[in-house]
Amino acid sequence: MSSAHEVETSLKVNGVAVKETAGAHLSLLRWLRDIAGVTDPKYGCGEGVCGTCTVLVDGEPVSACIVLAAQVDGAAVTTAAGLCEPDGSLGPLQRAFHECHAAQCGFCTPGMLMCAASMLGEADHTLERHEIREGLHGNLCRCTGYGPIVDAIDAAQGSAP
C-alpha cells in the first residue's frame, strides 16, 4: 500500500510517454494541461456534465476533470490532438469538422471530437443521424451549433478517426 501527497504518474499521451511527479489531487485534466502541456482538453463544468474535457483512456471516453491522473497511471490517453495524421495534418474526423464548419467559438470542439471518435470507434453499423444526436447528449455546445457537428460526424463515418 503506497501513501503520499506527490505521486509519480506515467501516461502515454497521444503516443508519447510522459512521466511526471505531481500532486496526487490533480485531475487528469490538470495533469495534462499544467504538467504535460497538453492543452486541447478544456475545463468547463468540473462536474463531468459538459463534455469539453472528454479524452479517451485506454480507448474509453472519460471526463478528464473528474478522474485523478493517479487513478489511471500507466494508461494510454488520447486527446483531440491525437486524432491528427502522423505528419501533423488533420485526421479524417478533424477534416470533417473543418469542412462542415462544425465549430463556432471552438471551446466544445476538442470534447466533441473525442466523443465522436469514441462513438464511431464503438459503432458496429452506420449510425443514423438520431443515433449520432443521442451519442452527443453528454457534450454541450453553448453556441448551440449542434447541426454541423452532427453533419461532420455523419460525413466522417466509414473513415478511420
Interface residue list for other proteins (CB under 8 A): 1-5, 7, 23-27, 30, 43, 46-49, 51, 54, 57, 60-63, 65-68, 70-71, 115, 118, 134-135, 137-139
Cell numbers linked to 152: 461532420
CB of 87 to other proteins, least distance (A): 30
Query: Minimum Å distance from CB 86 to other proteins?
Result: 27
Cell digits of residue 35: 504538467
For other proteins, the closer of residues 128 and 134 by Cβ is 134
Number of Cβ atoms within 10 Å of the Cβ of 30: 19
User: Which residue lies nearer to other proteins by CB, 14 or 52?
Assistant: 52
Q: How far is CA 1 from CA 7, 9, 67, 69, in A?
A: 13, 16, 20, 18
Measured CA to CA, the distance from residue 119 to residue 127 in angstroms comes to 9
Query: Which lies closer to other proteins via its Cβ, residue 47 or residue 87?
Result: 47
Integer CA distances (angstroms), 79 to 47, 88, 123, 147, in order: 19, 14, 19, 23
If the CB atoms of residues 1 and 17 are measured against other proteins, the closer one turns out to be 1
Q: How far is CA 35 from the centre of its chain?
A: 17
Nearest-approach distance from CB 149 to other proteins, in angstroms: 16
Closest contact distance (angstroms) between CB of 137 and other proteins is 4
Closest CB to other proteins among residues 24, 90: 24
Q: How far is the CB of 148 from other proteins (least distance, A)?
A: 21
- DSSP for 27-40, please give it: BHHHIIIIIS----
